[in-house]
Chains A and B, each alone.
Chain A
Amino acid sequence: MSKVALTANPLLQPIQGIVTEILLGVVLLVLVYYIKRNLVSSTKDFVIANRKIGFGYGVAGLISIWTWAMAVMMSSAMTYSYGLSGLFWFTVPNGLAVIAVIPFARKARSLMPNGYTIPEFVRARFEGTRLAVGVVVLGALFGSLIEVIINIKGTALVAYNVFGVDPKVAALTGLAVVLMYSILGGLWASVSTSTLATLLHSVPSAVIVVAALSQAGGAGAVWGAVAEQGQGLLSVTRADAATGFGITLALGLLTATIAGQEFWQVAWGLKKKDVSRTFLWAGAWFYPIPICLGVLGLIGVALHVDVNKALGGDAAAIGPYLISHLGLPLWIVILYAVVILSACYSVIDSAFTAISSVFVVDIVKPLAPSIQERGLFLWAKIPMAIAAVIAVVVVLSGVDFVTIVLTSYAIRTAILIPLVLSLFWKRMTGAGFVWGTLAAIAIGMPIRSVYGELWGSVAILSISAVIPLVSGLLAHEAFDFDRLKRVADATESSRGATLPPSAVRVIS
Chain B
Amino acid sequence: MGEQVVSVGTAITIGVGLIIAGYYLRYMWAALQQSVRTRDELDEGEDKYHFSLVGAVISVIASSGAIAAYGLGAVFLYVGPLLALLSAIAVARCLYQEVAK
Contacts and interface: CB of A to CB of B under 8 A. Distances in A.
B29 to A, nearest CB: 10
A285 B39 contact: no
A192 B95 CA distance: 12
Contact of B70 (A214, A234, A287, A288): A234
Interface of A: 34-35, 38-39, 50-52, 54-57, 59-60, 63, 84, 87-88, 91-92, 95-96, 99-100, 102-103, 106, 109-110, 192, 195-196, 198-199, 202-207, 209-211, 213-215, 218-220, 222-224, 234-236, 271-277, 279-281, 283-289, 291-295, 298, 328-329, 331-332
A117 to B, nearest CB: 19
Given A59-B91, A60-B95, 4 more contacts: A206-B82, A209-B81, A293-B80, A328-B6
A315 to B, nearest CB: 18
Given A51-B43, A210-B13, A202 B94 contact: no
Interface string B14-48: 10010011001101100110111011000111111
A272 B43 contact: yes
A294 B80 contact: yes
Contact of A236 (B3, B39, B67, B84): B67
A298 B70 contact: yes
A224 B75 CA distance: 11
A38 B34 CA distance: 11
Chain B interface, >50% SS class: helix
Contacts of B75: 219
B4 to A, nearest CB: 5
A306 B62 CA distance: 32
A220 B95 CA distance: 37
A114 to B, nearest CB: 12
Contacts of A35: 32
17 contacts: A50-B39, A59-B91, A59-B94, A60-B94, A99-B52, A102-B56, A195-B28, A196-B28, A199-B21, A207-B10, A219-B78, A236-B67, A236-B68, A281-B90, A289-B87, A292-B83, A295-B77
Nearest to B41: A52
Given A56-B28, A56-B31, A91 B67 contact: yes
B17 A203 contact: yes
Contacts of B78: 210, 213, 219
Contacts of A329: 3-6
Nearest to A237: B68
A209 B79 CA distance: 11
A128 B34 CA distance: 42
B94 A55 contact: yes
Contacts of A51: 43
A231 to B, nearest CB: 13
Contacts of A57: 31-32, 35, 95, 98
Given A206-B82, A207-B10, A99 B32 contact: no
A127 to B, nearest CB: 27
